[in-house]
Each structure stands twice: as C-alpha cells, then as structure tokens.
C-alpha cells in the first residue's frame, strides 16, 4: 500500500511480524534515555501480551491489523489498529451510532479501531519516529482509510488519542469527539496531608474518616512492583478480576494467560496493591506506571469492607504518585464518585472517519452538540470539586 512521498504502508496480522525495537522506536522513543515509556499501553510488550494471551484475536471482537509506515525500508511510523466486530472494551461508546446506522439499513460492523484494547488511558495512537511526525501521521491515517474503503468497512475510530493528535486530526478533516474522565493532578504535594490541605474542611474530614475506616478492615495493604510480584499474587488478582469482570461486562476481557505474560514482561510497568486479611488476599487494585502518570486499571475483591475500594483505587494511587513524583493519576473511565476524592473532570479526545457521507454529516452534528454539553458538564463538575474556594479561616482539624 503506497502512502505517498515514497512511504509504503503494510498491514500486520500481529506484533510478532515486527521487532520490538522497530515498533518501540515509534511507540516510545522517549525510552532512549533509559527511562520508562510515557505510557506502556502502545509498547510492543503490552500489545504483544494481549495477542499472545488471546485477549485479542479469535472471538474477542478485536482482530489485529496494525499499520507500519516505511520510508526507504526503515520504519518511520506505526499504528495499533484492530478490525472490530463489536464496540466492547472501548470506553468511548458508539453503540447509538451503530444502532442508528443499522436501523437505516447500513452495516456498522466491522469497523477499524486504533486503540489500546480495554484501556481508557490517553496516549499517542499515531506513533512516529522523531522527525517524521507530519509525514508519518498523514501516511498512517491515509493508510487506515484506504484499508477501510478497500474492505468496505463503515468507519475508522482513533480513541483516547492525545489532545495534540486530536487537533492535528481535526485540521486534517477527521471528526473530533470530546469525552471526559476524572484525573488527579499533583500540585507539587510532599505527602497526602499536603494534598488534603488543599481541600475544603468538610471534604478533608470526610476523606480522613474514609481512610480510617478502610484501614480498619483487619489486615494489611501491600504495594508490589517489579521483582516483588510473584505468581501467587496474580492467582489472587485473577480471582478479583474475574468477579469484577463478570459483574461489569458479563465476562472478563483479559484472559488468565495475560497476567502470566504480565509477570514475565510487564512487571516493571505495574503497581499491584493487594489487601490481605487473616493470611488471605481479599482485594486488589491493578495500576500501570508511565513516565509521569499512574494509570488505575482494575479492581476486585472477595470480601466487602467499607471504603476499601476507595483506599486501594484512589487514595493509595495518590500516595504512590506523590512518592514517585508523578504528575497525575488517571483512574479509568466514568465515576462521578471520584470527584469528592480529588479527581477532577478532564477532557479526553478521539478522532473519527465514516465512509457514508450522509451518516458522517449526522454524526458530525451530534458531535458538535455533544462537545458543547461535555464542556458545560466539566465546568459544572469542576465547580463542585472538593478544593478550597475562598472559605473562611478555620480551626486546625
């Protein structure tokens, strides 16, 4: 496939068809300094773990068809891309688009999706070698649209891309969509008490009470990463994950083999928080570590204890971010309950292309109205946040 300007586009049926060095030179060029990736979710090791574990492919609804752009035989850009037969595991929902199009006699699935599967974390999707950003992005998008047209697919969706990619894509003629999540921002806090000092008195006292009750569950909480992670920890977390997955999605997205692979290749990218009571693991929260962000991903438990969910997923995540000098915590999709705990609404972005011109016009109108509603919602929710707003002096609490 010709991408123009002597750039050739190829389609990969899996990450096994390209070396980790070639892929990661585009996906995580910042690691050349020896540090961690900006986020791990488009690295060769993460996407390969999904494929090797059969979390994607097969009957999952996610069929890999990654794009690679080469110039003079050298890889200059890559794009994690999947042919989707459903809209599961995406977190920027288009079920209503699919219903409307199919009700009008169209065929919405399969579609193309550029994303980190099952991972609502913002990150680059148009992965380019430094110095090839403009040509690489243009070649990837052109290649993806050609692939969709050639296979008579309804659409292309680039979800949880960066704001900078969204601006570029909008200027390039793609439709832009704004959604929102709740993120915690580190304002240079030295410890958790310094964060609490930024909150209103009422919210500060409420969080302290929640933490006290959570930590009174009768056990201990441990934080594990790198070589401290052992197979027994994944055995425990798999039980938690299965329970949560069955209740939220009907069946878990990730296979047990993914966690075995994570033990082998992703240990340094992971912070696992586990709660143990009477010698038994009873709850856990899985986080991934980026260069400046902690990403909260999954939670589960086999015993219910008041506020333990908030302690593991939100407060311990803040503790870890402060201790590691990270700039923020992304706590995953949805959840207005995060607002009272210091996680403020933040815009997230996606790009879309739809083959049918009439349907594309209808979606564009919808997106324009939705963006205005999201902007207003973010403004209102931020105003209800827990941070101080010129409150009167108070006694020490």
Give the pLDDT confidence of 132-150 residue by residue, as tens digits: 999 999 999 999 999 999 9
Number of helical H runs and strand E runs in the chain = 12, 16
Cβ proximity of 382 and 345 under 8 Å: yes
In this structure, the chain runs to a length of 397
* CA nearest to 287, candidates 261, 308, 312: 312
Q: What is the pLDDT of residue 366?
A: 97
* Nearest CA-CA partner of 48 in 3, 75, 12, 77: 12
Backbone angles phi, psi at 268, to 5 degrees: -75, -15
Residue 15 to residue 216: CA distance in whole angstroms: 46
Measured between alpha carbons, how far is 69 from 179 in angstroms, rounded to an integer? 29
Question: CA Rg, the chain, in Å?
Answer: 22
What pLDDT does residue 395 have?
A: 40
Instruction: Evaluate whether 132 touches 138 at the Cβ level (below 8 Å).
Output: no
Look at the block and give the residue holding tokens 């993120």: 183
pLDDT in tens, 274-308: 999 999 999 999 999 999 999 999 999 999 999 99
| List of residues 6+ apart from 96 with CB closer than 8 A | none
Which residue positions in the chain have pLDDT lower than 70? 1-5, 245-250, 390-397
The per-residue pLDDT for 333 is 84
Beta pairing partners, 220: 276
Query: Smallest Cα–Cα separation from 208: which of 303, 315, 317, 309?
Result: 315
> Would you state the pLDDT for residue 389?
78
DSSP letter assigned to residue 255: -
**Looking at residue 394, what is its pLDDT?**
45
| Number of Cβ within a 10 Å radius of residue 14 | 16
Q: H/E element holding 319?
A: helix 316-324
């Amino acid at each position: 496939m010709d991408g123009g300007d002597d750039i050739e586009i190829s389609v990969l049926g899996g990450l096994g068809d390209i070396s980790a060095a070639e892929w990661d030179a585009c996906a995580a060029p910042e690691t050349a300094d020896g540090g961690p990736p900006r986020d791990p979710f488009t690295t060769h090791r993460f996407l390969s773990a999904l494929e090797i574990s059969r979390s994607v492919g097969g009957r999952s609804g996610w069929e890999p068809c990654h794009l690679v752009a080469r110039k003079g035989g050298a890889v200059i850009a890559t794009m994690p891309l999947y042919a989707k037969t459903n809209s599961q595991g995406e977190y920027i929902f288009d079920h209503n688009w699919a219903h409307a199009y199919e009700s009008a006699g169209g065929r919405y699935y399969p579609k193309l999706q550029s994303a980190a599967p099952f991972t609502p974390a913002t990150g680059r999707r148009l992965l380019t070698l430094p110095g090839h950003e403009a040509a690489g992005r243009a070649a990837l998008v052109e290649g993806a649209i050609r692939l969709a047209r050639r296979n008579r697919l309804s659409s292309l969706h680039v979800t949880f891309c960066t704001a900078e990619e969204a601006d570029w894509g909008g200027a390039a003629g793609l439709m832009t969509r704004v959604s929102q999540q709740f993120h915690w921002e580190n304002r240079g806090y030295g410890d958790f008490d310094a964060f609490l000092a930024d909150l209103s008195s009422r919210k500060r006292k409420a969080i302290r009470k929640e933490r006290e009750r959570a930590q009174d569950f009768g056990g201990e909480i441990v934080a594990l990463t790198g070589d401290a992670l052992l197979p027994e920890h994944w055995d425990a977390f798999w039980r938690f994950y299965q329970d949560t997955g069955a209740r939220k999605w009907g069946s878990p997205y990730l296979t047990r083999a993914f966690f075995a692979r994570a033990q082998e290749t992703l240990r340094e990218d992971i912070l696992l928080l586990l709660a143990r009571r009477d010698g038994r693991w009873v709850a856990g929260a899985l986080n991934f570590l980026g260069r400046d962000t902690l990403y909260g991903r999954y939670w589960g438990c086999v015993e219910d204890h008041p506020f333990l969910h908030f302690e593991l997923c939100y407060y311990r995540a803040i503790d870890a971010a402060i201790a590691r000098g990270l700039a923020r915590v992304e706590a995953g999709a949805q959840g207005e309950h995060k607002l009272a705990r210091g996680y403020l609404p933040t815009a997230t972005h996606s790009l879309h292309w739809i083959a049918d011109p009439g349907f594309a016009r209808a979606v564009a109108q919808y997106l324009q109205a939705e963006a205005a509603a999201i902007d207003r919602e973010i403004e209102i929710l931020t105003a209800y946040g827990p941070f101080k707003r010129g409150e009167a002096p108070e006694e020490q609490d």
